Amino acid sequence: MNTTSDNWLVHDHHQYDAALDDCEMAADVGEWKKAKDLFQKFVTDLKLHMQMEDEVLYPLFIEENGDPDGVIAHLSGEHDYLVHLVSDLAYIIKSNDFDHFLDCLEPLHKAMSQHNNHEEKVFLNMANQSILMRRDEIVERLNAVHDKPGKRVWDF
């Protein structure tokens, strides 16, 4: 998550799409070592990204606006589903079987894109003046996540 650009709240999700594309391309030509390294990097980055949202941004939006329509709860549920798909892929990628790998990668990529689009809309709607005025404090809290163990359980 790039916390320094003007895009700080609706942060850059494109790198996760690109990472899965790169992973797929490596696997497609049988470069499994490279595919696994790319996947590992994707997982490390995604863990931090989700932790920033789970532990800073989502609670912040609830603090500011409540969650009357349950959208934040819904986004959080989408994170749970993504973790499930990522852990399936972490298991499947070990088999070096491209068809099987693709069967797991495609639903993950689709669910992640949908989640990211959904999240960007929610964040844009919720970014009120009060949140924008707290920018420095929020960026500091986002950066502090780097040094904390995450609360979410990843079973692999």
Distance CA 153, CA 156 (A): 9
Structure token pair of residue 127 = 């970014």
Q: Compute CA 41 distance to the chain's CA centroid, rounded to the nearest angstrom.
A: 13
Can you give the C-alpha Rg of the chain in angstroms?
16
Distance CA 124, CA 146 (A): 24
24 is a site residue for Fe ion (CB under 5 A): no
CB of 153 to Fe ion, least distance (A): 17
Residues 115-134 close enough to bind Fe ion by CB under 5 A: 119
Distance CA 32, CA 24 (A): 10
Q: Give the ranges where the chain is alpha helix by DSSP (H).
A: 14-28, 32-52, 58-65, 71-92, 98-126, 129-133, 135-144
CB of 133 to Fe ion, least distance (A): 22
CB of 76 to Fe ion, least distance (A): 8
Q: Which stretch binds Fe ion (CB under 5 A): 29-37, 48-56, 63-71, 91-99?
A: 48-56
Q: Which is nearer to Fe ion, 55 or 119 (CB)?
A: 119
55 is a site residue for Fe ion (CB under 5 A): no
* 20 contacts 109 by C-beta, under 8 angstroms: yes
Q: In this chain, which of 9, 46, 53, 109 binds Fe ion, going by CB under 5 A?
A: 53
Q: Which is nearer to Fe ion, 105 or 116 (CB)?
A: 116
Q: Which is nearer to Fe ion, 53 or 55 (CB)?
A: 53
Q: Which stretch binds Fe ion (CB under 5 A): 97-105, 113-121, 125-133, 146-154?
A: 113-121
The footprint of Fe ion (CB under 5 A) covers 53, 119
